[in-house]
């Protein structure tokens, strides 16, 4: 029998009533949550506004946040094991590759970037104090501040997106992180999600997410636009299903608003809208053949073919654009088991947080960041972001004074 007074561990699925006792709100909890979110989003945004600042400089803010919330003698939870196993598999394949044949340049750069980014994220989130309500408030403040910065950047650079067809793609990429900017906007928009089940607040939250979805289309974040729409629908429809009658009615109104926006406003976004419409025509940026090749390669070589093995010079390095398929192809069943273990723990935590409205923001952050590697980038592209959130939300227990809420256990 588990002690209900003990802190909630990452793998624990207890949902108990909120305890009356509350710890003293510590300013460092708020500051830690705020700085973690700045380090999460700003590397894709601030260097565009202030070129003197490099993206890697902002990662140091996570280290500062980690020091603020560091707790002596806090042991690692079992949720860390798949992540450590994944790092170990990468190290093993790197050593085997170095011993048998040199890693190609693409594979070597990918390994170095992944190890550096993962190492910084792990150091920043190692031995963190349990998550508190004040920490969540700092997270929300950091996300809303990041959202304001993202919108400012989009306003200043709007001509690049509106006139994309007349502008060289290289010029756009030189100005804005075309892959990271939509993700930063999507993560920052999570701060708009309400932690209350009041129908009107949920409707306003969903309406704001629809607006962000339109902005995502403008900045060529078609995948993130669809994620924002899906989250808006999930916020309105639940679970939990309290006040369901009013929520259904407002959801219909939200759907009508979304349809009107799609028909009358989105087409005004010029070439960015045309880019979005490629999905409706069945075009997915040439990713379908990459997915198929990666899966067939895994079936043919279930123990992996080495890091960077998927690269094809035609004329630039190619990769599956899906972290699970990339790991399966390059690191075989050992890497696949580890990455699936990470995703299973994330799904579990998202479900727990989603059913507990005060913690919903944390679950949505996990959802947004872990969906992104399934469609863009290689294993190193967003490593700092997803490792940091995994360590913070999945591998760090909740405070005993801020437990999950709900009527029954998820067991």
Q: What share of the chain is helix, strand, coil (3-state, %, to 5)?
A: 65, 0, 30
Residue 231 vs residues 109, 207, 253, 344: alpha-carbon distances, Å: 35, 11, 16, 20
Residue 225, Cβ neighbours under 10 Å: how many? 25
Q: State residue 385's pLDDT score.
A: 97
Give yes or no for a contact between 272 and 219, defined as CB atoms under 8 angstroms apart.
Answer: yes
Element (H, E) at 40: helix 27-41
The tokens for 126 are: 């190692």
Give yes or no for a contact between 131 and 26, defined as CB atoms under 8 angstroms apart.
Answer: no
Q: State residue 157's pLDDT score.
A: 84
Residue 375 vs residues 275, 284, 288: alpha-carbon distances, Å: 16, 10, 11
Block residue for tokens 């799904």: 347
Q: How far apart are CA 306 and CA 303, in angstroms?
A: 9
Q: State residue 411's pLDDT score.
A: 31
Q: State residue 134's pLDDT score.
A: 95
Q: How far apart are CA 294 and CA 396, in angstroms?
A: 33
Q: Give, for all 411 residues of the chain, the pLDDT tens digit.
A: 444 444 445 445 444 444 444 455 588 999 999 999 999 999 999 998 898 999 999 999 999 999 999 988 888 899 999 999 999 999 999 888 777 767 788 888 899 999 999 999 999 999 999 999 999 999 999 999 999 999 999 998 888 777 765 556 666 666 777 789 999 999 999 999 999 888 999 999 999 999 999 999 888 888 899 999 999 999 988 888 788 888 889 899 998 988 888 888 877 776 777 767 666 555 555 678 888 889 999 999 999 888 888 876 444 567 888 999 999 999 999 999 999 999 999 999 999 999 999 999 999 999 999 999 998 888 999 999 999 999 999 999 999 989 998 644 333
Q: State residue 112's pLDDT score.
A: 93
* Euclidean distance between the first and the last CA atom of the chain, given in angstroms as a whole number: 13
* pTM beyond 0.75: yes
Burial of 51 (0-12, 13-18, 19+ CB in 10 A): exposed
Q: State residue 20's pLDDT score.
A: 40
């Amino acid at each position: 029998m588990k002690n209900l007074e003990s802190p909630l561990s990452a793998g624990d699925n207890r949902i108990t009533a909120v305890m009356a006792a509350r710890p003293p709100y510590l300013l460092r909890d708020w500051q830690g949550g705020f700085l973690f979110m700045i380090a999460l989003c700003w590397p894709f945004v601030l260097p565009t506004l202030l070129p003197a600042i490099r993206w890697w400089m902002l990662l140091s803010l996570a280290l500062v946040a980690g020091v603020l919330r560091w707790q002596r003698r806090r042991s690692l939870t079992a949720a860390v094991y798949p992540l450590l196993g994944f790092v170990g598999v990468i190290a093993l394949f790197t050593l085997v590759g170095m011993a048998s044949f040199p890693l190609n340049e693409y594979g070597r750069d990918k390994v170095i970037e992944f190890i550096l980014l993962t190492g910084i994220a792990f150091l920043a989130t190692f031995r963190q104090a349990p998550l508190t309500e004040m920490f969540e408030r700092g997270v929300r403040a950091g996300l809303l501040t990041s959202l304001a910065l993202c919108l400012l950047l989009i306003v200043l650079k709007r001509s690049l997106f509106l006139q994309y067809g007349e502008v060289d793609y290289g010029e756009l990429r030189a100005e804005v992180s075309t892959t990271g900017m939509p993700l930063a906007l999507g993560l920052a928009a999570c701060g708009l999600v309400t932690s209350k089940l009041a129908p009107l607040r949920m409707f306003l939250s969903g309406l704001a997410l629809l607006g962000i979805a339109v902005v995502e289309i403008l900045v060529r974040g078609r995948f993130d636009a669809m994620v924002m729409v899906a989250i808006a629908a999930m916020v309105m429809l639940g679970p939990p299903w309290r006040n369901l009658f009013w929520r259904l009615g407002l959801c219909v109104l939200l759907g009508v608003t979304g349809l009107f926006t799609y028909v009358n406003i989105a087409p005004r976004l010029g070439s960015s809208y045309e880019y979005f419409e490629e999905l409706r025509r069945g075009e997915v940026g040439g990713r379908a053949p990459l997915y198929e090749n990666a899966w067939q390669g895994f079936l043919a070589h279930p123990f992996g073919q080495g890091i960077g093995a998927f690269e094809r010079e035609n004329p630039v390095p190619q990769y599956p654009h899906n972290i699970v398929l990339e790991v399966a192809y390059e690191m075989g069943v050992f890497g696949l088991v580890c990455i699936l273990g990470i995703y299973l723990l994330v799904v579990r935590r998202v479900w727990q947080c989603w059913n507990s409205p005060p913690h919903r923001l944390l679950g949505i952050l996990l959802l947004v960041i872990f969906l992104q590697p399934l469609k863009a980038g290689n294993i190193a592209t967003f490593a700092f972001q997803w490792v940091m959130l995994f360590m913070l939300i999945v591998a760090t227990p909740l405070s005993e004074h801020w437990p999950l809420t709900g009527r029954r256990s998820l067991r």
